[in-house]
Amino acid sequence: MSPYLKPILRFGLISPCLFQGVLLAMVAFGISKLDSTRKVKQERYREELQRQAAIKAIESQIAPKRREFAEQKTLLQSDSMQIFTRTLDLILPKYKNIELERMGMVFLLENGRINRAMQVEAKRVKSGFEGGLGPMQEALLQVESLMPHAVLEELRISRKTDLLADRREKPAFDATHTCWRAGESKP
C-alpha cells in the first residue's frame, strides 16, 4: 500500500463512513424515540376524547334533571307550612267527602320528638281526616312524595260515628308531621 493510500482510506473513506454510521444510528434512535412519544401522546389523546364523550353523555343525562333538583332545593328551603297546606289542597279534591275529608289542621308551636333530635329549623303540623283507609294511605303517600322533608311523626287512627247523620262508623285519622327546612351547611 502506498503511503498516500492509507491516510486516504483512513480519513477519506473509513472516518466519514463511521461518522455517517454513528449519525445514522443517532437519527434512527431519535426517530424511534419520537415515534414512541407520538404513540403515547396519541393514546392519551384517544383517552381524552373518550373521557370527553363520557362527560358529554353524563351531562346529557344530568341536564334535564337540573331543573328538578333546583325545584327540590327551593322546595326544601321555602316555608314548609305553606307548602304542606298547598300539597293537601292539591290532593284532597280528587276524593269525595265520604272517601276522605280534612277535618282540621293545626300548626303546633312545641317541638316534637323528632324536632328535638334534628339540628335544623323544623315545624310541626297536626291534621285530622275522616274517611277510608285506602284514600288516607294514598294521601299520606302523596304528601310524603311531594314533600321529601315532611316526616310522619305520629299517626292515630280511631273510630268515629255520626249519630245525627245516621252514618255508620268510619275511621278518623290524626296525623302529625314534622317539616324541616334545609339550609346551607356552615363549616
The Cα 96–Cα 135 span in angstroms is: 10
Task: Identify the pLDDT of residue 26.
Answer: 96
Please check whether residue 186 lies inside any domain of the structure.
no
Residue 135 has pLDDT above 60, yes or no: yes
The Cα 122–Cα 44 span in angstroms is: 52
Q: Are 122 and 181 in contact (CB under 8 A)?
A: yes
Q: Which one has a higher pLDDT value, 34 or 113?
A: 34
Residues 104 and 161 in one domain: yes
Identify the domain boundary among 34, 56, 77.
77
Q: Would you say the pTM of this structure is higher than 0.85? A: no
Residues 71 and 107 in one domain: no
Residue 52 has pLDDT above 70, yes or no: yes
The domain of 124 spans 80-180
State pLDDT tens for residues 101-114. 788 888 877 766 66
Identify the domain boundary among 46, 77, 108.
77
State pLDDT tens for residues 21-32. 999 999 999 999
